[in-house]
Amino acid sequence: MLAWGKMFSAYVETETVLTALDKTFDPAKPCHWCVKVGAARETAKQHSPAAIESAAERILLALNRAEEIVLPAPQPHWPRPASARLVARCEPVPVPPPRA
């Protein structure tokens, strides 16, 4: 996509939009990225086994759903926090008498 965008922007500077589109996607004039990708595909075809190349012998994997993992809910066996174990004061806090 990036290569096509660069090609189109280069062509549109000197050509009309339609001509730039035609030149960008013209298979007779590939850019250097298209040439490299084509060479990589040819190399991959040469190094791949013949059994994989034929469409009739390809193995198509069907949708294999993985088993769902269901974890049990954690049991509430956690120790109570220290603040809950302490005794709370119920008496009012002593206040000193007002100064005269």
- The pLDDT tens digits of the residues spanning 42-88 come to 888 777 665 455 554 555 555 666 788 888 887 777 666 666 666 66
Note whether residue 35 is domain-resident. yes
CA distance linking residue 29 with residue 4, whole number of Å: 12
Type of residue found at 51: A
Note whether residue 29 is domain-resident. yes
Note whether residue 87 is domain-resident. no
- The number of distinct structural domains making up the chain is 1
CA dihedral 19, 25, 29, 34 (to 10 degrees): 150
Tell me the HSE value of 84 on the side-chain side, using a 13 A CA sphere. Answer: 4
Summary mean pLDDT of the chain: 76
Q: Which residue has the higher pLDDT, 39 or 45?
A: 39
Q: Which domain holds residue 28?
A: 1-56
Q: What is the DSSP letter of 15?
A: S
Note whether residue 91 is domain-resident. no
Note whether residue 10 is domain-resident. yes
Note whether residue 31 is domain-resident. yes
| Whole-prediction pTM | 0.38
